[in-house]
Amino acid sequence: MTSRLKLDEFLPYRLSIASNRVSNAIATAYQALFGLRIPEWRVIAVLAEGGAMSQFALGRATQMDKVTVSRAAIALVDRGLVTRAPNPEDQRSHLLSLSDAGRALYDQVAPKALEMERRIFADIDEGERDRLIAMLARIEAGVVALEQENGQ
């Protein structure tokens, strides 16, 4: 007897659909309110939390590919929200950091992001939320282990 794939029960598919729906809802709000695409917001948020870093480090932190990070960084530099400075540890790269305008925008967006999160997860109690976060961390660890097995 062969196993049949049922997408509605296939966890990677369900995670992808849920993630896409959440991201699309948030993207629409960020674009309308702040003129930001999701990759741009991710770069801003990571820089706000982690300080100056290279595009390579941003890619690792956000799990976005280098082209997406590069496009987001260029757009943010062009808008004056991010600054570029030479990287003293690697002359081939630059360090990106938030400008004052970028910090001010982050300070406007962050409360809206938290409010959207609250609304999306309103029917999930704190214990369920904590368990979901723990399960997501375990899923990510499982993916890392699989990648290592496959030499990635």
Query: Are 105 and 68 in a shared domain?
Result: yes
Judgement on whether residues 88 and 106 belong to the same structural domain of the protein:
yes
130 in a domain, yes or no?
yes
Do residues 67 and 140 both lie within one domain?
Answer: no
Looking at this protein, which amino acid is placed at residue 80? G
Structural domain includes residue 143:
yes
pLDDT lower than 70: segments of the chain: 1-2
Please give the pLDDT value at position 46. Answer: 96
Q: Are residues 61 and 131 in the same domain?
A: no
Domain check: are 143 and 101 in the same one? Answer: no
- Judge whether 85 lies within some domain: yes
Range of 141's domain? 121-152
Are 53 and 23 contacting, i.e. CB atoms less than 8 angstroms apart?
Answer: no
Tell me the CA distances in angstroms from 100 to 31, 70, 86, 136, one per residue in order. Answer: 20, 21, 19, 34
- Structural domain includes residue 62: yes
Helix runs in 51-125, H state only:
55-62, 66-78, 100-120
Is 35 part of a structural domain of the chain? Answer: yes
* Of the candidates 90, 101, 96, 120, the residue with the CA atom closest to the CA atom of residue 29: 120
Q: Burial code of 57-85, b = ≥16 C-beta within 10 A, e = fewer?
A: bbbebbebeeebbebbbebbbeeebbbbe
Overall domain count for the chain: 2
- Note the pLDDT of residue 1: 54
Same domain, 32 and 75: yes
Strand partners, 31: none
Residues 112 and 127 in one domain: no
Whether 56 and 74 share a structural domain: yes
| pLDDT recorded at residue 79 | 97
1 is a domain residue: no
Q: What is the pLDDT of residue 15?
A: 93
Report the DSSP beta bridge partners of residue 95. Answer: 85
DSSP 117-141: HHHHTTTS-HHHHHHHHHHHHHHHH
In the 8-state DSSP scheme, what is residue 81?
S
Please tell me whether residues 109 and 136 are part of one structural domain.
no
If asked whether residues 51 and 103 sit together in one domain, one would say yes
